[in-house]
Amino acid sequence: MEEPTGRLTPKKVAVVGGGLVGALNACYFAKRGFDVEVFETREDIRQAKVVKGRSINLALSHRGRQALKHVGMEDKIVSQGIPMHARMIHSPSGKQSPIPYGKKGQFILSVDRANLNKELLTEAETYPNMKMNFDHKLKDWSPETGLMTFTRLDGSHDQIQADLIVGCDGAFSTIRKQFLRRSRFNYSQTYIPHGYMELTMPPVNGEFAMKPDYLHIWPRNTFMMIALPNLDKTFTCTLFMPFDEFEKITTGDEVMEFFQEYFADTIPLIGVDALKRDYFRLPGLAMVSIKCSPYHIGDKCVLMGDAAHAVVPFYGQGMNAGFEDCIVFDEIMEQLNEDFSAVLPEYTRVRVPDDHAIADLAMYNYIEMRAHVNSKWFLFRKHLDNFLHFLLPNTIVPLYTMVTFTRTRYHKAVDRWQWQDKVINRGLLFGATGAVLGGSYLLIKNPPDINKLIIPTEKMWARLMSLWTN
């Protein structure tokens, strides 16, 4: 931890939401010397017996690591993650085929959501200009004055005034409700027709049941299952499937029939009794994609993380994009001398197109993960793109590499991907056309002897007839 910079009259920053992005943001603002208070509706998860909320495993990649590095947290969090170097594709027959994520040495990290949140809260508390407030539910706030009213667990109320309110309170943000009351605020919310369900694959003889350095995928075209490794040698398996498919399965025997048909290799690893029990423990849970703009109101409030851009989890960028929000905002603060009246609109201008782009990419990648990875054309293009990237590393960069292993702005990565795709496809078309024209020219110049072609064909038919009659 670095000591906060000195400021005669430190501005007060209220971070609403003590989840991943809120806790990291608190570190960023405290490091700059602001007087920071964090307000979280839940109890302190570090003391909670049961941590409520989502538990889909997280995939930490370059953007998130860079954001953690800025506050000295990268090495600690990386040491608590498990590297995944490739996707491991499981066919219905049980065959396994790896698809590397990038070049040798490139990997994403499977990290535990609850543990990461705890580490970030603990780090935030090391700053002397930081105050944590748990069991504080936001009831109302003023975008004009920055006055906020919170309700405590015992029913009492607290009021606080802040120079800047940072809304990091998730996809169903209370802070964002004030934005919805204002004109010229764009907002869209889309629930996809697929839900998710989590299952656990226990260790076998104290070791991982499958190879741990992969993100395992069972693609089945209209649905899929994935598995990410945990430090306790378990795998968290997540089944993504249309809700109407979830609802068709109503008994334990139907669960087993379904898994026997589509995920047979997982049955002995998860266990028959566990499957029959855990499938009905919770219903399929919904996934929502949220876009909005602008991200700020005047110089008083700004949205970050899921409050600004909730995305479906299929590109593994939800947390990484939220963490990148923190570092982008900090970079703009540096450029504009912490002048909130200039920083907030610039943050909206810079960040909105990128967050909208990753929301769209996350939707696209679900189709890729559950269907395209089964396609020979997809695999051919994957190998071709990687080969061209090896030959022309500064000209051709695979989309996944740009998104996962660089900080190329999301919308620029999409633009470049579309340009590259057009160039490569045209090259393949010209190559195929040239081969056809060249072959036709050779045939015209050197026509084959038809008689010589017929003789072996007749001999072949005679031989086949002989075999058939005998």
Q: pLDDT 10s per residue in the chain (470 long)? A: 554 544 445 799 999 999 999 999 999 999 999 999 999 999 999 998 766 555 567 999 999 999 999 999 999 999 999 999 999 999 999 999 998 888 888 999 999 999 999 999 999 999 999 999 999 999 999 988 999 999 998 889 999 999 999 999 999 999 999 999 999 999 999 999 999 999 999 999 999 999 999 999 999 988 999 999 999 999 999 999 999 999 999 999 999 999 999 999 999 999 999 999 999 998 899 999 999 999 999 999 999 999 999 999 889 899 999 999 999 999 999 999 999 999 999 999 999 999 999 999 998 887 766 766 666 777 777 778 778 887 888 888 888 899 999 999 999 999 998 888 888 888 877 777 777 777 776 777 777 665 555 445 555 545 555 554 44
Strand order of the β-sheet with 136-141 is: 136-141, 147-152, 157-161
3-state helix, strand, coil in the chain (%, to 5): 45, 25, 30
pLDDT of residue 9: 59
Integer CA distances (angstroms), 377 to 87, 119, 382, 399, in order = 17, 43, 8, 16
Q: Calculate the alpha carbon distances from 433 to 221, 419, 439 in Å.
A: 32, 21, 10
Closest by CA position to 316, among listed 283, 376, 361, 284: 361
pLDDT at 6: 47
Could you give the strand order of the β-sheet that contains 108-111, starting from the edge strand earlier in sequence?
Answer: 58-60, 108-111, 82-84
Beginning with the edge strand found earlier in the chain, give each strand of the sheet holding 301-303 in spatial order: 130-133, 35-39, 12-16, 164-167, 301-303, 296-297
Residue at token pair 């009905």? 280
pLDDT score for 14: 97
164-167 and 301-303 as β-strands: parallel, antiparallel, unpaired? parallel
Strands (DSSP E) found in 168-284: 186-201, 214-219, 224-229, 235-242
- Say how far apart CA 176 and CA 173 lie, in whole Å: 5
d(CA 110, CA 402): 19
| Strand-pair partners of 302 | 166, 296
286, 242 in Cβ contact below 8 A? Answer: no
At how many degrees (to 10) do helices 20-31 and 318-335 cross? 20
Which pTM was predicted?
0.86
Torsion angle defined by CA atoms of residues 280, 282, 283 and 286, in that order, rounded to the nearest 10 degrees: -150
Ordered structural domains, the chain, with CATH: 12-84+106-188+290-370 (3.50.50.60), 193-285 (no CATH), 375-437 (no CATH)
Burial of 156 (0-12, 13-18, 19+ CB in 10 A): exposed
pLDDT at position 3 is 47
Res 452: pLDDT: 56
Phi-psi category of residue 33: left, alpha or beta, with phi > 0 → left and psi -120 to 50 → alpha: left
Cα 213 to chain center, whole Å? 18
Taken as a whole, the chain contains a residue count of 470
- DSSP state, 447? -
The letter for the amino acid at 208 is F
Residue 368, token pair as written in the block: 């890729």
- The confidence score (pLDDT) of residue 1 equals 53
